[in-house]
Amino acid sequence: MMKKINFIFGIHNHQPVGNFKEVLDHGYECAYKPFVQLMWRHPKIKWSLHCSGILWDYFREHNPEYIDIVKKMKDRGQVELIAGGYYEPIMPSLQDRDKIGQIKKMTEYLKNEFDSKPQGMWLAERVWEPHLPKPFSLAGIKYTIVDDYHLLSSGLNAEERTGYYITEEQGYTLKLFSINQQLRYYIPFKTVSETIEFFRQSATENEGTALVMIDDGEKFGMWPKTYKHVYEDLWLENFLKAVEENSDWINTLTFSEYLEKYPSKGRAYIPTASYFEMTEWAYPQKMQEELEDTIKETDHMNNSERIKKFIRGGMWRNFFTKYPESNNMHKKMLYVSEKINAYRSEISSSKETRDPNITAQLAKALDLLYEGQCNCAYWHGVFGGLYLPHLRKAIYEKLIASENIIDELNKKEKKAKKALKTDFDKDGNNEVLVETESQNLYFMPQCGGTIFEWDIKKANTNILNTLSRKKEAYHRKLVEFIARGPLNPGAVKTIHDLVEVKEENLDHYLNYDWYRKVSLIDHFIHPDTSYENFSKCKYGEQGDFVFGIYDFQEHNNSFKLARNGVVWAGDRQYKIRIEKEVKLSVAPEAEITYTVINNDTDTVSLNFVPELNFSFLGSRTEDTMNKTVKEWVRVDEPQKLKVEVKFENDTQLWVFPVETVSLSEAGFERTYQGTTVAPLWKLELKPGQKQKLHITIQIGVIE
């Protein structure tokens, strides 16, 4: 009997919420359009297609011919359309109601646009947790697609991972296909002959044997150097021809066709997992380096593959501990989701549910929430993700806009609200959320008495959407690359192996913050600290206030934070008290009064620096300053904001851009993340003496 193989082929296309239109245009011209045109010319090749809702919306508005050709292929039975969360969220990170809502939005779109009732869904980044079968089943989904690594983690060997399995949660079942990892690396990076040979080696006399390869559509033309390789050098054309020429033993079919024809291979229960690279990235920097080194060490062992299958990385949710900024976005998303759900519950039995205006506004708020759940800005691996300010900006923009609608529907009072004490970031300590008509300020008394989020509601902008400079595991690759230069620069590599540098001397920007870049961070710095050292976070901190616990009190529109701490000066500690009062007005503005008190028995000399940080889209000359001034003004046209920081007297002011070095699909790059504004006050305080210092921050919205 001839050995045969079933080949389930597909692509997943996605672009983040908030990405630049020129990026989508580029993706369309070099990846999405040429791929679908080539598939159209090979009608015998069955395949499956998933596009996120962001791209379906883009195609409908700017390139409707893409939708037209997909309709034709669907009608002739060549392509199966796969659902998913409409805005490509990481499913385990959502409330179950939002999981179901995202999926139903996509299935309704595919039904209305293509007259298609999808059975399966794409699992964003293949991030799996065992509770998912229940909400997926409740949303009408029959199957999803995971990675080889998922089934390997359940103890299934390569021969057993050539079909589909059934899993369940509380009796709700879900069918699971797994993507062949080796084939994912072969297509389109190995030669066509090598790829066909891999099929030949995988073929069996069991007619149900199947290989699945569905991966990012961007690797077919959008990843560096792949357009020439895939289209100009005819890799994809030659591959499709080779599959057709070997159709007597390579059978292409869709997921649903396979389900109709073949039974499952049994039950399987999968632990928390994603594709293996994701589990590497989710680890903290040091653990990630150790894991990479461990894998390299096993490569030189005779039984390396047997050992590797027992190596595990971290889980996706670790990004919320690795990056506090990611956690902040996630908890903001959950907070807004709860606001929407509370309002829906409140009006569910009232006549307001029949008000078409309320229904429309609620639907808009819900859709904005869903957009704010797009996964890309919440994590970072090879691609820019969290490190791209415009993606984080888009998440906050959607979430704040959604929150504004619900607050308006709730008919909130148009004045400062009483501070809400709640464990916003889910760390066991209460934060303080202050919401007014024009702005939201979130305080963290348990960590420096800082402001960690400042929403300008009219602009739908969190002006504290900054990112601290962190040491990443791939930074050592940058140092090694600069030291030795590129190896084999002409080769076409996978995105995981590619090393490029977008500018010289990037290693000079490898500076790391030991605290989060928020605002009202109270520093007492060593007297020898220079502007340059402080900007690089290479200075001596002499106080215990940066992470210290502050008392919090509320008085009408005034909020007071205070701490009794210590400052090292000379060869001893001094007892110092800081009081900071934040007064809010109707406009987006904060008047901040610091009182620094010497509670010690001796006179002390202090260098006090209350650090502020602001998030702008792109750096300007105003982001660099080291001089004595009474005010600092910064206009940000992209966000339509004007920030003014004013002092009562001439003040030494340090201003510098916060720039990270991160890895993206284009290589290592320097990215502007925000601006630090740090007044430096040199104080000489006698025992019991106090010094008041004033800062006014005004944020105007440019019409």
**Residues annotated as part of the active site:** 125, 216
Cis, bond preceding 64 (omega within 30 deg of 0)? no
What beta strand segments (E) does 617-702 contain?
625-636, 641-664, 667-685, 690-701
Residue 240's alpha-carbon distances to 29, 51, 53, in angstroms, are: 20, 21, 28
- Distance, in Å, from the CA atom of 516 to the CA atom of 513, rounded to the nearest integer, reads 7
- Distance, in Å, from the CA atom of 248 to the CA atom of 236, rounded to the nearest integer, reads 20
Residue bearing tokens 């206030």 = 545
Residue bearing tokens 């002409």 = 490
- Nearest Cα neighbor of 311 from 320, 319, 301, 325 is 301
- Distance, in Å, from the CA atom of 620 to the CA atom of 657, rounded to the nearest integer, reads 9
- Distance, in Å, from the CA atom of 592 to the CA atom of 580, rounded to the nearest integer, reads 7
Span between the terminal Cα atoms of the chain, in Å: 74
| Partner residues linked to 551 by β-bridges | 562
- Nearest Cα neighbor of 24 from 59, 48, 75, 51 is 59
3 state SS for 22-49 = HHHHHHHHHHHHHHHHHHHCCCCCCEEE
Collect all residues with Cβ–Cβ distance below 8 Å to 478 and sequence separation of at least 6: 501, 506, 507, 510, 661, 668
Tell me how far the alpha carbon of residue 344 is from its chain's centroid.
Answer: 28
Collect all residues with Cβ–Cβ distance below 8 Å to 156 and sequence separation of at least 6: 165, 268
Where does residue 87 rank: exposed (0-12), middle (13-18), buried (19+ CB within 10 A)? buried
Tokens (6 digits) for 482: 């600069």
Helix boundaries (H) for 485-567:
531-535
Q: Give the count of beta carbons closer than 10 Å to the beta carbon of residue 429.
A: 13
Q: Are strands 604-614 and 521-524 parallel, antiparallel or unpaired?
A: antiparallel
Residue bearing tokens 């060490």 = 297
Look at residue 614 and give its three-state secondary structure.
strand
DSSP 547: S
Residue pair 400/383 in contact (Cβ under 8 Å)? The answer is no
